[in-house]
Amino acid sequence: MTQHSVVGVSAPRIDAYDKVTGRAVYVGDMKFPHMLQGKVLRSPYAHALVKRIDTSKALALPGVRCVLTSKDVPDIPFTLCGHPLPFDTPLDARIFATHVRYVGDPVAAVAAETREIAEKALGLIEVEYEELPFYLTPQEALAEGAMEIHEGSGNLCGETDLAFGDVDQALKDADYVVEDEYDSPIVTHAQIEPHVSIVIPDPKDGRLTVYASTQCPSIMRERLAYILGLDRRKIHLIKMTVGGGFGGKQEPVYEQINCVLAQACGCPVMLELTREENLACTRTRHTTHYKIRTGVNKDGTIVAREIDIEQNTGAYASHGHNVFFNQFGQFDSLYPCPNMRVRGRTVYTNILIAAAMRGYGIPQYCIANESHLDHVAQVIGMDPLTLRQKNLYQLGQERKYAPPHSVGSCGLPQVIEEGRRRIGYDEFRKAPPQDEGPIKYGIGVALSSYNSCVYSHSVELSAARILVQDDASATLFLGCTEIGQGADTAMAQIAAETLGIPLDWVTVKEGDTDLCPFDAGAYASRQTYVTGNAVKQAALKCKAQMLDRAAKLLERPAAELDTRLGKVIDKATGEEIGDLRKVAEDMVYHLTEGNTCCHEVGYIPTTNALNYAATFAIVGVDTETGQYEVKKLVTCMDCGTLINPQAAMGQLTGGTIMCFGFGTMEQILIDPKTGRVHNDTLLDYKIPTFADLPPIDAHFIETVEPSSAYGNKSLGEPPNVTPAAAIHNAVCNALGIQIPSNPLTPERVYLAIAENKKKQGGV
């Protein structure tokens, strides 16, 4: 492996100092002269028609500047999905609803001098609703005679049936057929920074400057212009420091409402959600019902797989059926099988909107499928890890079901072996710990594969512009988005490494659509994989120009020269022979040959690298209360070569914590009588505290991915996939039962134990 100077080094994050000292500026910190505060009036009903709205009392309240309803704003149907053009989900949303489809659907908005006045004004808006029957589950929404939530949809937002090979025959021929059902919960991003925006209209031409907390400035600009019926040049999007996205800030969520408020008032408006709104009225992970059948032979060979996926997308499509496609994309990259049938249905209901969330379908698919595999192993009497290893994807194996990407690197066998060793898998299996009173011990494993972008499903363009200054320092202009994951630092490291300058010579400017080139944005774990290539290629062009200049200065052929940490070096010997700052100075200030050095490259990937991970867990379960303790949690991951090992470990640890919450305690609970969210506070929507976390042993196995800038692969989402499934399997292993849903709250575990006891007593 080539020895690098900047890449592969644990440099401090370039945004860390500002964040930990409170200097970083978030949208909610900003103040502008005459800035108003916006508030949204929401439907109290899960499904209803707005028959009449009277805003006159609200408008008469001193301090109120405008009150808007559907009749005041463009009536352009749009999709709440945050993907680049072309639209790939139904255009089923409006700025304000007249047909409200979930508790929280916006029906009006107010801008006022203070938030208190705006809030008071909401209470003065009179709305008459005609209540309609509402449906909270796909089962209810697809029942015969159910009313259509979106006209003409039949309450189906997307449907797919695919089969490969001869599934029926293979199931007939298999030694065993194992079948399971599984339900995953509604969970939400719970970003520490709620959704917030400031919109400033320019009175001379109506151009809107939008300060946003977004993962995708380029997409947000395009989509806001579309929703508002404006030319795109009328939107200037500026992304500020983002306090967490996790997929929830991929698309416009309330920014469009803030735009119409600012347009109507002609002055800056801030619209910031409360914690309660952020939990109950933004975006979630799809709650999904799985039916899985596996045909397996005695020797552990899986001969047929049949998977039925039913996603509840809530009131609007947003990312909708795309989340199914992402799950389907992983079917043959981990456990390929010649005979396979998959059916996916994405269903409209009257709950809050499911959309993109870290892992995009894969965490729920992983926990359903990995718990099913444990059941398969139990039925055929095989060790669960052995069963998996018998059916693993092998490097070089042809992929049939997903878009046929070649796989350039696969550390799957190594992550399994390393995890197995670290947890002491074989020792546990050979001699499981004795019960201690009511405490029983169990071990579990879960594996995953994960894409590094969305190629070839949708547009994947990322661009980078690098301006090398007259002192060889560099300014990076990126559409790539720092949302807390460390993208700015990774891009700066790639630029510094490629240019041959120290990291602190690089400045990153990103997220301003007037200054920065297009980038699809921070989702699909794609930034370092895709934008990293754009940065490297732009840097190579800048470097070539500098070396040309250096060749003239040093009177050596450019081909014999290289750069490292701000010096010109002899390529062959590594000897320092010049100062890159002098080269850059000469490049700019030369009397006749002076020139600037600025290059922009747009990059589209031509394949889709795969991240592989294995998590192992050991738990002790208190069978009298259902409470359990995760004694050991080991994750080993192949995300290619690490750009910044310490930042990478932050991602792996953070994702593990998020997934721990998904597996063990997080769930949005909805009142079946009203459709309202019960738990819209962080007391009752339980994200784990540090006191709850198990000891986490996270470890990387480095491979070299040939299709990326420096051997790297996806890292943003994959850590949020396997931990929940491994813990789930460990608890089930301890108890010798299946639990077909998560989160594994102590109550759920205890009730499963009690039910199992009843069943056994009844036999």
Partner 1 sequence: MYSVSELYIPQTLGEALAYLSEHPDTRPLAGGTDVLVQMRAKRLEDVRLMSLEKLPELTGIRCREDGVVEIGALTTFTQLAASETVAQRAPMLRTAALAMGGPQIQNRATIGGNVCNGATSADSAPGLFALDAVLVLQSAAGERRVPITEFYSGPGRVKRDPKELLLHIELPAAAPRHGDCYLKFSTRKAMDLALIGCAAACEIGEDGAVSKAAIALGVAAPTPIRASEAEAFLTGRKPGLEDLEEAGRLALQSASPRSSWRASKEYREQLIRTLAKRAFRAAYESAGGVL
Q: Decide if residue 593 touches partner 1 (CB under 8 A).
A: no
- CB nearer partner 1, residue 475 or residue 674: 674
- CB nearer partner 1, residue 123 or residue 557: 123
Q: Decide if residue 692 touches partner 1 (CB under 8 A).
A: yes
What are phi and psi for residue 197, nearest 5 degrees?
-150, 160
Q: Decide if residue 163 touches partner 1 (CB under 8 A).
A: no
Provide the token pair at 430: 């050979």
Least Cα distance to 102 among 356, 346, 349 occurs for: 349
Q: Decide if residue 682 touches partner 1 (CB under 8 A).
A: yes
Which residues, 6+ apart, have CB-to-CB distance to 228 below 8 Å?
A: 74, 76, 208, 234, 235, 256, 259, 260, 263
Element (H, E) at 633: strand 628-638
480-to-271, 533, 644 alpha-carbon distances in Å:
24, 12, 17
Q: Decide if residue 689 touches partner 1 (CB under 8 A).
A: yes
Read off the amino acid at residue 165. G
Shortest separation between residue 654's beta carbon and partner 1, angstroms: 18
Shortest separation between residue 724's beta carbon and partner 1, angstroms: 16
- Pairwise CA distance, residues 744 & 371, whole Å: 13
Q: Which of 4, 57, 291, 678 binds partner 1 (CB under 8 A)?
A: 678
Read off the amino acid at residue 81. C
Q: Decide if residue 625 touches partner 1 (CB under 8 A).
A: yes
Q: Which residues in the 78-137 window bind partner 1 by CB under 8 A? A: 115-116, 119
- The residue count for binding partner 1 (CB under 8 A) is 27
User: Which residue shows structure tokens 């300014």?
Assistant: 475
Residues 465, 517: contact at Cβ < 8 Å? yes
Provide the token pair at 536: 């490297």
- CB nearer partner 1, residue 292 or residue 668: 668
Q: Decide if residue 63 touches partner 1 (CB under 8 A).
A: no
Q: Decide if residue 3 touches partner 1 (CB under 8 A).
A: no
Inter-axis angle of helices 722-735 and 645-664, nearest 10: 50
- Pairwise CA distance, residues 285 & 323, whole Å: 10
- CB nearer partner 1, residue 686 or residue 699: 686
- CB nearer partner 1, residue 203 or residue 437: 437
Q: Which of 26, 32, 164, 750 binds partner 1 (CB under 8 A)?
A: 750
- Pairwise CA distance, residues 117 & 449, whole Å: 51
Q: Decide if residue 745 touches partner 1 (CB under 8 A).
A: yes
Q: Decide if residue 686 touches partner 1 (CB under 8 A).
A: yes
Shortest separation between residue 64's beta carbon and partner 1, angstroms: 17
Shortest separation between residue 331's beta carbon and partner 1, angstroms: 34
Shortest separation between residue 624's beta carbon and partner 1, angstroms: 5
- CB nearer partner 1, residue 620 or residue 626: 626
Shortest separation between residue 758's beta carbon and partner 1, angstroms: 12
What are phi and psi for residue 16, nearest 5 degrees?
-70, -45
Shortest separation between residue 111's beta carbon and partner 1, angstroms: 17
Inter-axis angle of helices 580-589 and 532-554, nearest 10: 80
Question: For residue 682, how many other CB atoms are within 10 A of its CB?
Answer: 14
Least Cα distance to 657 among 615, 714, 597 occurs for: 615
- CB nearer partner 1, residue 581 or residue 686: 686
- CB nearer partner 1, residue 116 or residue 179: 116
- CB nearer partner 1, residue 504 or residue 624: 624
Shortest separation between residue 21's beta carbon and partner 1, angstroms: 20
Q: Which of 1, 572, 591, 683 binds partner 1 (CB under 8 A)?
A: 683
- CB nearer partner 1, residue 541 or residue 686: 686
Q: Which of 206, 751, 757, 759 binds partner 1 (CB under 8 A)?
A: 751
- CB nearer partner 1, residue 559 or residue 691: 691
User: Which residue shows structure tokens 């120009």?
Assistant: 545
The 3-class secondary structure across 593-613, one letter per residue, is CCCCEEEEEEECCCCCCEEEE
Q: Decide if residue 665 touches partner 1 (CB under 8 A).
A: yes
- CB nearer partner 1, residue 149 or residue 670: 670
Mask: binding to partner 1, 484-503, rule CB under 8 A, as x and -? --------------------
Q: What is the DSSP letter of 401?
A: S
Q: Decide if residue 175 touches partner 1 (CB under 8 A).
A: no
- Pairwise CA distance, residues 445 & 366, whole Å: 11
Shortest separation between residue 754's beta carbon and partner 1, angstroms: 8
Residues 227, 76: contact at Cβ < 8 Å? yes
- Pairwise CA distance, residues 57 & 41, whole Å: 14
Ordered strands of the 506-510 beta sheet: 506-510, 474-478, 462-468, 597-603
- CB nearer partner 1, residue 116 or residue 435: 116
Q: What is the DSSP letter of 399?
A: P
Q: Which of 21, 691, 761, 762 binds partner 1 (CB under 8 A)?
A: 691
Q: Which range of residues in 77-85, 520-528, 530-538, 618-626 is near partner 1 by CB under 8 A?
A: 618-626
Q: Which range of residues in 19-27, 37-45, 292-300, 674-682 is near partner 1 by CB under 8 A?
A: 674-682
Q: How many helices (H) and strands (E) does the chain have?
A: 20, 28
Q: Which range of residues in 23-31, 226-234, 645-653, 743-751 is near partner 1 by CB under 8 A?
A: 743-751
Shortest separation between residue 458's beta carbon and partner 1, angstroms: 38
- Pairwise CA distance, residues 566 & 497, whole Å: 10
Which residues, 6+ apart, have CB-to-CB distance to 555 below 8 Å?
A: none
Q: In this structure, is the dihedral angle defined by the CA atoms of residues 449, 455, 456 and 459, taken in order, positive or negative?
A: positive
- CB nearer partner 1, residue 209 or residue 679: 679
Question: For residue 261, how many other CB atoms are within 10 A of its CB?
Answer: 30
- CB nearer partner 1, residue 297 or residue 674: 674
Shortest separation between residue 625's beta carbon and partner 1, angstroms: 6
Q: Which range of residues in 261-269, 560-568, 590-598, 741-749 is near partner 1 by CB under 8 A?
A: 741-749
Q: What is the DSSP letter of 512?
A: B
Shortest separation between residue 274's beta carbon and partner 1, angstroms: 8
- Pairwise CA distance, residues 357 & 360, whole Å: 5
Q: Decide if residue 627 touches partner 1 (CB under 8 A).
A: yes
Shortest separation between residue 332's beta carbon and partner 1, angstroms: 38
Q: What is the DSSP letter of 530?
A: I
- CB nearer partner 1, residue 160 or residue 679: 679
- CB nearer partner 1, residue 56 or residue 625: 625
- CB nearer partner 1, residue 501 or residue 665: 665
Q: Which range of residues in 22-30, 410-418, 688-696, 734-742 is near partner 1 by CB under 8 A?
A: 688-696
643 forms beta bridges with none
Q: Decide if residue 671 touches partner 1 (CB under 8 A).
A: yes
Q: Is 553 helix (H, G, I), strand (E, B) or coil?
A: helix
- Burial class for 71, CB neighbours closer than 10 Å (0-12, 13-18, 19+): exposed
Q: Decide if residue 631 touches partner 1 (CB under 8 A).
A: no
Inter-axis angle of helices 362-380 and 722-735, nearest 10: 30
CB burial of 662-671 (b: ≥16 within 10 Å; e: otherwise) equals: bbbbbbbebe
Residues of the shown chain interacting with partner 1 in the complex, contacts defined by CB under 8 A: 115-116, 119, 624-627, 665, 669, 671, 678-679, 682-684, 686, 688-692, 745-747, 750-751, 754
